[in-house]
Amino acid sequence: MSTLTVLYECQGILPVLILSVTGVVILLLDAFSPLGRKGQLGAVAVTGTVCALGTLAMTPSGAEFFSGMVVWDRFSVFLSAVLMAGALLVFLVSFDSLRRSGMECGEYYALVLFATAGMILMVQAAHFIMLFLGLEIFSIAIYILVGMPRHEKRANEAALKYVLLGGFASGFLLYGLTFIYGATGSLSMSIMAAHLGKAEKVFNSYLLFGSALVVAGFAFKLALVPFHLWTPDVYEGAPTPITAYMAVGVKAAVLGALVRTFWVALPTVHPHWSAFFWALAAVTMTVGNLMALAQDSVKRMLAFSSIAHAGYLLVAVVADSKEGLTALLVYLLAYTVMNVGAFGVMVAVQNRQESGERLEDFRGLAGRSPFLAVLMALFLFSLAGIPPTAGFVGKFMVFSAAVQSGYTWLVILAVINSVIAAYYYLRVVIVVYRPAEGASAEGPADGASRLSAGERGALVGAGALTAIVGIWPHVFWDLARQAVHVLF
Amino acid sequence: MELLIFYAFCVGAVVSALLMVTTKRPVRAAMSLVATMSFLAGLYALLNAHLIAVLQLIVYAGAIMVLFLFVIMLLNIEEKEGKLAKNVFFIQLAGTVVVGILMVAMVVVMNKIGAPVAGAAVDETFGTTKAVGWMLFTKYLLPFEIASVLLLAAIVGAVILAKRRIDNSKA
């Protein structure tokens, strides 16, 4: 390959390149920036991410690059936008939290940038080598980010648990891929699909075994229920901004890869899995919601709620139609903004009090900071799926797509689950608006109203998006529909 | 002749793997693992995958095993052996059941498939260092380069987790 060809091919991975280069630049700048002024590095990270987001404005060609390794189509663009928006919000939320916990360093920003690059590679992969590399890049970066508060036992435990179980999951995925490779003779998604198209016996045991292991690997990363045991501890032990990042980024990236795997590479195989996905979705949302009911810690409650949301997302996969996948993308966008928002409010509360994880810590938040209280209520309403918020729109689209495909019972179960979920989300809202005990002693507004620019920007941004997606859903529906179009 | 060597390597790999899981001394287990890796390298060489064979020796039997031995040496594990003795029966039972299920699944699958679908003939250079190198810098250029991001993330992580303190601002 000549230099010119390589440069031409690079347009297919432009966001990945920008993010990775920004990460490297931050690592280099870190060496020269004086102690206590590492905040500048965060500004560089934000700038890099915004630039990478800007490149998405170009119309994607839908072509494959680097001899069929990655594809740059509307599907990649939509999910990349969701991923980078999530990363951007997490950066903005992180600044003060890092300063407070004394973890401010360039490596934090660099690792989040690398992880985002890996996630984008995963959703634009047209070859399973790229899919696996993307998965490993973001997994390794996140293992480290989880364990960064090294003096906290909880974080150590979380990081160790995540790295051990995550290693197993990667192993399962890789082992499954070797079987699929054996069945089709290629790891390229398009060649695989072509091979399956002309093979007379479509569903041989090689493929069955291989795709079972691949599903297990994905299910672990998505925290679907039989594979979810690590989730609450890891989400609780990680620094809160990283919990937010894990909850949204990993889900978007892995679901994107799952859709590509089963719709692009194995189009004849996935109908055989719909019953299994059905069961996974049903168990995941039910167990997630029931466990969330019993939690005293809001952080842990949000961890279980993210398991439940993975179940709703899977309902869209079960629907197995254009509408279903479109709804999946819109729901992912909604889930990203409202979840980062809810975690962001928690970070802001943590920055002002000793702790901000237990339900008690949120008591009387409305008195201390009406701004935070309103936003928390908005995000929780959205998570509960109350109109007119993004969460309602996402759920409505997913459920109606599933009904159209004839999965009425699953949708009935999902609606019952949403009602259960509303209880524990609204419980937090009620606590927020209840007067604090001994409020006068603490003083009504001890700096709580003075949010930093980063926090304000992130929360207002997430809140605005939650409202916009809720009020003008058709804009996002059209974008998602165009994105899904390339898969059929 | 080739078949004979193949069986010799196979038996060697299985026996040393068994030794590894049955021995009670960590160092012996590690050395048995080295033997297993080396026998596997032999199998790769028989498959004409020279590069993989050499990498297996250098990376797995060499570098990674040295790391294992270092850890064993630093932790001084030998005295702590038998700490799990309370539930050892259940652990063994669970392990046997899981491995048994996996084995049955493997045997069933292997029996069903017969010859692989893509049994196309490969030319003589397949798997040699030159062929692999050619592939790495043409078709697989992007994965080859992107792996550097993976390695960089891992190195940065190792440094940050091992560094004496992160909190620069409070210094």
Q: Are B165 and A35 in contact (CB under 8 A)?
A: no
Is B111 within the bounds of a domain? Answer: no
CA gap A137, B5 in Å, rounded: 39
A2–chain B nearest CA distance, Å: 10
* A421 within some domain: yes
Helices and strands, number each (H, E), in chain A: 22, 2
Supply the Cα-derived Rg of chain B in whole angstroms: 21
**Tens digits of per-residue pLDDT, B93-140?**
888 898 888 888 778 777 766 555 555 556 667 777 888 888 888 889
Please give the ipTM for the structure prediction.
Answer: 0.89
Label residues A80-110 b or e (16+ Cβ within 10 Å = b). bbbbbbbbbbbbbbbbbbbbebbbbbbbbbb
Over range A161-180, report the average pLDDT.
92
Q: Which amino acid is at A80?
A: S
Q: What is the pLDDT of residue B27?
A: 84
Contact across the interface for A107 and B170, Cβ inside 8 Å: no
Q: Which residue has the tokens 């001890």?
A: A446
Band (pLDDT 50/70/90 cuts) for residue A391 is: very high
Structure tokens given for B119: 């049994």
User: How far out from the chain centre does Cα A347 lie?
Assistant: 18
pLDDT of residue A412: 94
Domain-located, residue B154: yes
Report the C-alpha gap between A357 and A232 in whole angstroms.
13
The model's pLDDT over A348-361, given as tens digits with 9 standing for 90+, comes to 888 887 777 888 88
Please name every residue paired with A127 in a beta bridge, in sequence order, or none if there are none: A188
**Distance separating alpha carbons of residues B33 and B50, to the nearest angstrom:** 21
List chain A residues with CB under 8 Å of B103: none
Q: Does B8 fall in a domain?
A: yes
Cβ pair B61, B41 in contact under 8 A: yes
What is the least distance, in Å, from the CA of B104 to any CA of chain A?
12
Cα end-to-end span (Å), chain B: 68
pLDDT in tens, A399-441: 999 999 999 999 999 999 999 999 999 999 999 888 876 554 4
Q: Which domain holds residue B24?
A: 1-77
Chain B neighbors of A206, CB-CB under 8 A: 109, 113, 116-117
Nearest chain B residue (CA) to A151: B165
Tokens of B170: 């409070």
pLDDT at residue A58 greater than cutoff 90: no
Residue of B nearest to A125 (CA): B143
Nearest to A35 among B153, B160, B171 (CB): B171
Q: Please give, rounded to a whole number of angstroms, the shortest distance from the CA of A66 to a CA of chain B.
A: 6
Nearest to A105 among B139, B149, B166 (CB): B166
Name the residue with tokens 């990674």.
B64
Average pLDDT across chain A, whole number: 88
User: Quick one: pLDDT at residue B96?
Assistant: 86
Given a contact cutoff of 8 angstroms between Cβ atoms, the answer to whether A348 and A451 are in contact is yes
Do residue A182 and residue B153 have CB atoms under 8 angstroms apart?
no
The closest of A293, A308, A300, A296 to A238, measured between CA atoms, is: A300
- The pLDDT-based confidence of A4 (bands split at 50, 70, 90) is confident
Tens-place pLDDT, residues A88-124 = 999 999 988 888 887 778 889 999 999 999 999 999 9
- The alpha-carbon gap from A230 to the nearest alpha carbon of chain B, in Å, equals 20
A322 lies in some domain: yes
Amino acid at A333: L
Asked whether residue A15 is domain-assigned, the answer is no
Report CA-CA distances (Å) from B84 to A160, B34, B87, B88, B91.
Answer: 20, 25, 6, 6, 9
Mean pLDDT of B41-66: 88
DSSP assignment letter at A2 = -
Q: What's the residue count for chain B?
A: 171
Residue A193 lies in a domain: no
Give the closest of A36, A141, A195 to B168, CB-based: A36
| Mean pLDDT across A460-466 | 93
Residue of chain A whose alpha carbon sits nearest to that of B112 = A205
Whether residues B150 and A38 touch (CB distance < 8 A) is answered with: no
Q: What are the chain A neighbours of B117 within 8 Å (beta carbons)?
A: 182-185, 195, 199, 204, 206
pLDDT of residue B170 exceeding 50: no
Residues sharing a CB contact under 8 Å with residue A118, sequence separation 6 or more, in sequence order = A133, A134, A135, A136, A137, A138, A139, A141, A253, B149, B150, B153
DSSP reduced 3-state for A188: strand
Residue A475 lies in domain: 269-488
Residue B137 lies in a domain: yes
Peptide bond into A388 cis (omega under 30): yes
Looking at the 3D structure of chain B, how many domains does it have? 2
Q: For residue A378, is it within any domain?
A: yes
Nearest CA to A414 out of A325, A292, A288 is that of: A288
Candidates A368, A317, A318; CA nearest to A345 is A368
Position A166, amino acid? G
- Chain A residue with minimum CA distance to B162: A150
Q: What is the pTM of this model?
A: 0.90
DSSP tag of A324: H
Q: How far is A269 from chain B (nearest CA, A)?
A: 16
Interface probe with A: pick from B98, B103, B145, B168, most Cβ of A within 10 Å:
B168
Q: How confident is the model at residue B171 (pLDDT cuts 50, 70, 90)?
A: very low
> Do B153 and A141 lie within an 8 Å CB cutoff?
yes
Nearest CB among B138, B154, B156 relative to A1 is that of B138
Partner-chain residue, chosen from A121, A129, A209, that has the shortest CB–CB distance to B105: A209
Q: B84 lies in a domain?
A: no
CATH number at residue B12: 1.20.120.1200
Q: Please state, in angstroms and as integers, the Cα–Cα distance from residue B1 to each residue in A70, A407, B6, B8, B43, following that order.
A: 44, 60, 9, 11, 14
CA distance A233 to chain B (A): 20
* First-residue to last-residue Cα distance in chain A: 32
Sequence-distant (≥ 6) Cβ neighbours of residue B34 within 8 angstroms: B61, B65
Sign of CA dihedral B36, B37, B41, B43: positive
Among B15, B43, B77, where does a domain finish?
A: B77
pLDDT tens string A230-263:
999 999 999 999 999 999 999 999 999 999 999 9
Residues B72 and B139 in one domain: no
Contact by Cβ (8 Å): A142, A254? no
Question: Average of pLDDT values for A390-403?
Answer: 93
Chains A, B: CB contacts under 8 A, how many? Answer: 124
pLDDT of residue A441: 44
Mean pLDDT of all residues belonging to chain B = 81
Window from A293-302, A368-377, A436-445 with minimum mean pLDDT: A436-445
